[in-house]
Amino acid sequence: MRSLLVTGGAGFIGSNFVRYYLESHPGVRVVNYDKLTYAGNLDNLRDIGENGDYTFVRGDICSRDEVLAVMKKHETDAVVHFAAESHVDRSISGAAVFVATNVLGTQVLIDAARERNVERFLHVSTDEVYGSLGREGKFTESTPVHPNSPYAASKAASDLLVLAAVHTFSFPAIVTRCSNNYGPYQFPEKLIPLMIACAMDDRPLPVYGEGINVRDWLYVRDHCTALDAVMERGRNGEVYNIGGNNECRNIDIVRLLLRKLRKPESLISYVKDRPGHDLRYAIDASKVMGELGWAPGVTFEQGIEQTVEWYLKHEPWWRRIMSGAYREYYKDMYET
């Protein structure tokens, strides 16, 4: 592969992936194609700078003409598709943009990639498409999709469109479904960075319901190495679950973060639960581990330690998001 198109590379996982990929695959040209919604932040890649190997192109995955133009200009031969609306709470407040970006945008990309004869299309999805588990069991690749939030439903729809293109047109695509990620550059509306930011300002930490919901956490760099393995050695038409076998209740994560930051538990504030809040996610990742030889590189303890350190060291990064300044800086590039 010579020219990789990364959609949504200015977001949390996409920017970590761009950074990881440039380091580990010198010589491959990486084009980051991103609309720069509220979640896209060029601060995430500021130190990389554009050179022969890396180019940023501002564009919308819903625009067929723009997508085709970028693929043509950069002779794209593989796509890693991260671009999405990604926050469950926002999808509950307004689902339309999730359908537009996650469903229609994905179909536009599939059509363009087929037209351009792209050799590999990696669709980055989520374990949330499987819905909620009770206390027992794990999601395998053959668990039926049963999405419960508008976000999860829009991602499930996009997965099915990708798999339908594989079946109908022998489109060379793979779907990955990963558990909750954490690590550097995560937008502070998601649990872990939000709790760190609140704790550092001695503001209440809003825990939904009783805090007993369980998520299966994976350090973002380990997600990137898994995607790399799937790109290199995965089989077309397959779904690969990705997860680090690390289930944790929300309240236990919040307490752990408070301990690490030396802040009192009295900051915890139990608030109204999220409507339709999924109780538990847990990933069976034996397929990606057994078939592709992937394994996470860090334990949860190491990953959380590195994450807390990163947020402490990069306070200006998240403060610029909290204040909205990250959008001011690139005003000409963001929509009003």
Residue 191 binds to ligand TYD (criterion: CB under 6 A): yes
**C-alpha span between 274 and 61 (Å, rounded):** 29
The DSSP call for residue 139 is: B
By CB under 6 A, is residue 197 in contact with ligand TYD? Answer: no
237 binding ligand TYD? (CB under 6 A): no
Catalytic-role residue among 34, 43, 66, 127: 127
Compare residues 141 and 189 and give the one whose CB is closer to ligand TYD.
189
Asked if 245 and 218 touch (Cβ cutoff 8 Å), the reply is no
Contact 221, 16 (CB under 8 A): yes
315 an active-site residue? no
Q: Fill in the per-residue mask, 7 to 26: x = in contact with ligand TYD (CB under 6 A), - = not in contact.
A: --------------------
Helix, strand, coil % over all residues of the chain, rounded to 5: 45, 20, 35
Say which entry of ligand NAD, ligand TYD, none residue 34 contacts (CB below 5 to 8 A, set by partner kind).
ligand NAD
Residue 86 found at the interface with ligand NAD (CB under 6 A):
yes
- Report 166-205 residues binding ligand NAD (CB under 6 A): 178, 180-181, 187
Does the footprint of ligand TYD cover residue 44 (CB under 6 A)? no
Q: Which residues contact 145 (CB under 8 A, 6 or more apart)?
A: 129, 130, 131, 156, 159, 160
Look at residue 13 and give the partner it binds from ligand NAD, ligand TYD, none, a contact being a CB closer than 5 to 8 Å depending on partner kind.
ligand NAD
Residues 6+ apart with CB under 8 A from 273: 208, 209
Q: Output phi, psi for 38, to 5 deg.
A: -55, -30
- Buried/exposed code over 24-54 (b: 16+ C-beta within 10 A; e: otherwise): ebeeebbbbbbbbbbbbbbbbbeebeeeeeb
Catalytic, out of 54, 130, 151, 182: 151
Options 60, 66, 77, 128, the catalytic residue: 128
13 interacts with ligand NAD by CB under 6 A: yes
Q: How far is CA 75 from the centre of its chain?
A: 25
Question: Tokens standing for 157?
Answer: 């729809």
**303 makes contact with ligand NAD (CB under 6 A):** no
Closest distance to ligand TYD from the beta carbon of 202 (Å): 16
Determine, following the binding rule CB under 6 A, whether residue 213 of this chain makes contact with ligand TYD: yes
Residues contributing to the site for ligand NAD (CB under 6 A)? 7-8, 10-14, 34-37, 39-40, 60-62, 82-84, 86, 101, 105, 124, 126, 155, 178, 180-181, 187
Residues contributing to the site for ligand TYD (CB under 6 A)? 88, 180, 190-191, 194, 206-208, 213, 215, 250, 274
Q: Which residues are catalytic?
A: 127-128, 151
